[in-house]
Amino acid sequence: VTFDQVTSMSQLIQIVYCSRSTFPAVAQADGVEPEVGRILMQSRRNNPKSDLVGALYYGDGYFFQCLEGEEGAVETLYARLLDDPRHTDVRLMRRQTIAQRGFERWSMKYVPTASDVQALLARNGLRSFDPNRFSDRMIDDMVGLLQAGSEATQTARPSPTPVLAASPRSASGGLASAAFGLAALALVVAVVALVRTF
């Protein structure tokens, strides 16, 4: 049995957990809490290294996060998360094996308070976003909303609360080509300047 065979045998899992933020909510013009912004930056820096993907929702002082990846990688991150002082009452709501990642393109997709979520709460008689009161069915629906709330929402209808799902996993490719374009432009400018001096 080779190393590759061992790693390909390890399971892909999905976990969903919720927690309560320990920091006070600060109203932000663009809707992203500074502390949440920092968490997203960390997640997007770290998760690609362990092939982890997922989505994070933050509402009414609660986090709801879905994480997907190799079992070991997910468990390592979850253990680290438990010690993070920025949240408390961390509760694992679901853990299941999956055939493939549902957030394939997102190192950590962020869906700000969306009208779809408000509708989900209203349908189930909840006045605020409290994942501890979610039924299994609501967990399914919430994960579905996080998966669906993608570029489609951004392009199809101009929403007052756009899905700020930046950082697709291919972002580095986009950056690289942008850098290449800039370099090419600089070269053209330099050549033109050189020609003009003669």
Ligand X SMILES: Cc1cc2nc3c(=O)[nH]c(=O)nc-3n(C[C@H](O)[C@H](O)[C@H](O)COP(=O)(O)O)c2cc1C
CA-based nearest residue to 169, from 156, 155, 150 = 150
Q: Nearest 5°: phi and psi at 14? A: -125, 135
**In sequence order, which residues have a C-beta less than 8 Å from that of residue 184 and are 6 or more positions away?**
none
Taking CB under 6 A as the rule, which mask of x and - marks residues 3-42 in contact with ligand X?
A: ----------------x-------------------x--x
For ligand X, which stretch binds (CB under 6 A), given 68-76, 81-89, 95-103, 137-145?
A: 81-89
Query: How many residues appear in the chain?
Result: 198
| Assigned token pair, 187 | 């070269």
Task: Please report whether residue 81 would count as binding ligand X according to CB under 6 A.
Answer: yes
Listed in sequence order, the DSSP H helices in the chain are: 3-9, 34-46, 71-82, 115-123, 136-148, 151-156, 171-197
Task: Please report whether residue 77 would count as binding ligand X according to CB under 6 A.
Answer: yes
Window 93-132: residues binding ligand X (CB under 6 A): 108
* 167: exposed, middle or buried (Cβ count in 10 Å: 0-12, 13-18, 19+): buried
For ligand X, which stretch binds (CB under 6 A), given 79-87, 92-100, 118-126, 190-198?
A: 79-87
Task: Please report whether residue 53 would count as binding ligand X according to CB under 6 A.
Answer: no
CB of 86 to ligand X, least distance (A): 4
Q: Of 23 and 180, which CB lies nearer to ligand X in the complex structure? A: 23
> For residue 125, is it left (φ>0), alpha (ψ between -120 and 50) or beta?
left
- One of 14, 43, 150, 167 touching ligand X (CB under 6 A): 43
Taking CB under 6 A as the rule, which mask of x and - marks residues 158-187 in contact with ligand X?
A: ------------------------------
CB of 159 to ligand X, least distance (A): 24
Q: Of 108 and 165, which CB lies nearer to ligand X in the complex structure? A: 108
How many Å apart are CA 54 and CA 67, to the nearest integer?
4
For 20, 34, 158, the CA distances from 24, given in Å and listed in that order, are: 11, 11, 30
Q: Of 23 and 158, which CB lies nearer to ligand X in the complex structure? A: 23
The residues binding ligand X (CB under 6 A) are 19, 39, 42-43, 46-47, 56, 63, 65, 77, 80-81, 84, 86-87, 108
